[in-house]
Each structure stands twice: as structure tokens, then as C-alpha cells.
Structure 1
Amino acid sequence: MRATLFYIFLLIYCVGFSQSDKVQVEIDTTNIRIGEQFQYKILVNETENVIIPKLENLKGLEVVDSLKIEKINNKIIQKYILTGFDSGAFYIPQQQIFIKNQAYLTDSLLINVTTIAIDTTKAKKFDIKGIKTEGYQYNDFEQYFWWVVALLILIGALLYYFIIRKKKEIKEKTIVPLLPPYEEAIEKLQALDKKLLWQNNETKKYYSELTNIIRGYIERELKLPALEITTDELMDVLNDFNNIKSIETNKETIDKLKKLLQESDLVKFAKSKPMDYQIEQDRKDAKSIIDNLKPKKEAIEDEVE
């Protein structure tokens, strides 16, 4: 019961899911034939701190293309080209849009996909053909069939003896279970160290992989689209979460993360080249960030319950 009340208040306070005039969706048609394309448009009446996640859960429909986001008259417009290859009625489900760290839901839309009708009255007609003689039957080749079978068995036995028998040890593919977010991040950091990227003048690639490891950890551990948003957007969300005590961290860790992400942006986009000691310190800071950025224990315990 406590877990249920917690989720209800958390939903009302932090997420604020709602349908409002902040977000709208449009389609240019509600009826298509199999394989035809149509446009799906998301309109957001805001331009600052807006996050539009990937279009997902389209049962019966497929995304052909995701067009570049447009900003027109203080609005953000995201357009998609969709299609369907199965007949039936399919819903484009509600999409979750984040505006200034508050979530809004769009309306769901119904699309009817129909098959292509065939006009049998216009089908091409052919003349009646004469009766063909009966083709060869199995009995005509039965004796040859058994000779072929015997020959194939002999060839198979020889192949087994000379090839397969000598290579009997087969490496079975093992399914590696997904590691917990923390363990995965630590393993990736250790693997990055072994590549010696920055030591071989590949500093840009090093910082790109380093920050992707941290963003990937945040995305899995805190359930945020950290790999898809900018540095400023990510820091705004984490600061808000820290202020309302929904994550376990401290200001020092937040500041380290901001500094590291900004340093990485400078290396990747401004061709900055940090000193060796700075790179080594950034590597230590990455480990410290992962160690000290966790979801709140109460939320984890309620989720387990």
C-alpha cells in the first residue's frame, strides 16, 4: 500500500503527465493502403528545454524517416514519415514529451490500413490450351533414385570421417546476461583504459567514449534519455532531481559531471587538447561520478516490493 501511494504522489508531483495545449499531434490522413506513406507531426508550444524521445511502440506501423526538428513561431515541430504493411486499424499511441522537466502526453491517433482492391473484371484472359501428355512418374526413375540415395549416404559418411570427425569440438554460443548498470560501466572504463587512445593522440575519440560510458550509465540507472540530450539539458534534469532529493548524489558530483561533459564538448567540437594530467584527472572523475550517482534507495525498495 505504501508503494502504491508513493507512486501516486510521485506521478502527480514530479511527472505531471497531462494532455494540454502544450503538445499536439497531427496526421495528414487517417486512411492508407498497404505500403502508402503518411506524415505524423508532433507540435510543441515551447522551444526551451524540450525533449522528444524516439517514436516507439508502433504496432502494425513502421517509421520510414524521422525529419529534422523545426522551430517556427516559438514552436517545435517534429515530423515523421510512417507506413504500414499489414491491413487493419492501428493506433499511434500517446507519446511522452518533456517540457522543462515536466512530462506531457500527446493524444493517440487511429490509422486504417486497407489492402489494394483487385478488379477481376479487367483480368487478362487466355485461350484454352490443349491437353498435355502425362509427364514422367516416380516409378520411371525409382531404381535410379535408390542408387542416388546410396551414393549420397556414402559421400556423407566420408565427409563425416575425414572432416567433421576431426573438428568435433564445437564452440557453443553462450548468452551473456546483461550486467547491472554499475558493473557494466566499470568494465567499459577498464576496457577504455586498455585501448590507450589518448596516449596515441586519439584524444577526441577517448573523450567521446568516456562520456558515452557515463551517459549510458545514467540512462540505465536513472531511466533518463541521457544519450539523446545535450549537456545543458542533462544537467538541468539532474539538478532538478537532486533538488527534490529523488537521486542519491551531492553537489560535488554534479559539478564534476558538468565539468567533464563540457571538457568533452570542447575536445570534440572546439578541437581543444587538454594536458595529460587533465585527462588522467577526468578519468578519475568519471569513476567518482559513477560511484556517487545513484537512484534513491527508497525508490529501489518500493520497486522491488
Structure 2
Amino acid sequence: MKRLIYTLLAAAAIPLAGAGAQKTPQVRAYVKPDSVRLGDCFEYVIEVERDLAQVTNFPVFAKRTDGQRPAGEADVELVEEMPVDTLSREGRMLRLRKRYRLQIFDEGRVDMGRGQVLYADKNIVDTLYGEDTVFLTVAVMQIDTTAQGPLDLKGQKGMPFRLGEVGGYLLWGLAALLLLAGLLYGAKRLLARYGKGFGDIFRPAPPLPPHVVAIRALEALNHRKLWQNGSYKSYYSELTDILRTYIAGRYGIGAMEMTSDEILAAVRVLSEEELPKKAAMDLTAILRDADLVKFAKAEPDAEQNENDYTKAYYFVEETKRQETEPSEGEGIENS
């Protein structure tokens, strides 16, 4: 406890009239509790009983700034310093108390010294000590490592469930469900107006009729202007591929793997209602001209190229499957 130092008093500023006739102040020091564990906090208390006219000053705890502890000094640290309390007053006698909250880092029976205060009397400044030395017993928890092996980590402590923790999420979730239900109901009413259901949204669109696919492909070929740029072979190859694809879809003939002669032989068995004579003649002319260009490297003139395109276009139009109009009341669903 050597770090308890005093604040010097200016003797000239202290009214000491008549102090010499007074009884010397009595000092008492103690700790509470008197037994702690290593690292625990305790209170170091100094009490002084003196006359009203006498002057005493309690020590100030000096903190170490260098981190070093002098030999023989208790390893304590100041946690809190409380103000001076007046415990009692009887006539001219006062009983004062000063408390220091400390933390101990020594073990065993630690000598905390005797309580001390600074006392000023006329021209004398002296230190007064308590009668008894203060001791503090510091215990260390002993662990028998031979009797008990290492223990596993404890599981996470369960906490009681509180509705308030998830109440906000439940309200937002309920609002989202109500909004979704409203959107689904509105979509269902809108689809019902057009005679459709939710299944129609995800159902793939039906395939286009073969003649629609062929007409679109012919129009795209015409816009590319292949023969106008001298690409005769590419022009007739694509023209015949369009017709082969159409014949396969319209009549169920594997025209994509057939030669021109095999295609013509296969369509001859069709009835005139399915394949009019003019359409058969146009198909024969187109395939013959295409073979001359692709295999004999012929270069037809502009008129022939345009005629073959026109023949292909009308071949599709004349042979397409006629769509029957639904009778009244047939195919009509809820509107």
C-alpha cells in the first residue's frame, strides 16, 4: 500500500487555533470482505475520529504509469475511490470514513499495511497510522487435473421462444399472401373473360400449319435476293428444301431424305383432290431446274428464277389443307 500518498497541506491556510490542546485523532483501517478470490474486488476502508478543529487528510491512491510493481508491494489496482462520509457527530467529535474499491492480483495472506492519514497541527505535518496491520486473504481455486479430465464444450443454451421476435415477419408474410391471393384472383377473372384458364398460360403454342411455315420461309428467301447476287445454287437449294419440308408436313412423305425422282414418284400416287395436276407439273419443273443448277452448274435467267419462285408459292397455296369452319355452338366455351 505504498502507493497511497498524501496531498500536502498548506500550513498557513489551516485554522489551527487551539488545536494543540486537542486529543490526537484516532485512525482505524480494515478491509471488507477480509477474504476474496484472486482477481476479485474488495473495499479498503480508513476511519478517522477527530475534533472539529483538527485537520486530517486521507491518502490519494497513486496509479502506476510505468506498469512496474515495486518489490514487497501488494499487487492491487484502484477500481473506484468513494467520497469521504461522515459517520457520526457527537458534540465536537467527528467520525469520518474513506473507502477505496480495489482489485487484488496477489495470492495468500497479503499485507495491506496500516491505515494512515495526514495530520496537521500548528507548524507540524505528520502521518498518523492505525494500530493494527490489515491483512487480506486471497484464495486461488485449485483444480485437480488428475481427478477430472478435459470436458467437452457445452451445447448452446436454449432460449424461450417469444412471439414478439417474429411478429413483424408474420404480419409482412400475411400481407404478402393476401396480395398474392388478390393478384391470382384478378388474373383468373381476366382469363375467364377470354375463355382460358391458368393452364393455358404455360401450355406451349400449337405448331403452325405446314403451309404457313412454307409461305413465311418463301417470303424470307425472296427478301435475301440470292439469285440477284449470283448465288444460284444457294437459292435453289433453299427453295427445294422449303418444298421438301412442306411436302413432309402436308402429306407425311419423308421428302427430306429423297431425291427429286423419288419425291415425284411418291406424289404420283396421291389423288387429284390432294395434288392437282397443275401443282404436280409445277413441282416437277421446280425440281428439274434445281437439279440442273445444283449438279450441272446452270445459271438460269431472271425470268426463270422468278417463275420457279412463283410456282413454288402457288404450289403451297393450291395444295394446303383446307381448314373447316366450326359449326355454330361448336368449340364455344364459357365467355
What's the TM-score once normalised by structure 2's chain length? 0.34
Q: Which has the higher helix share?
A: 1
| Greater Rg over alpha carbons, structure | 2
What's the TM-score once normalised by structure 1's chain length? 0.38
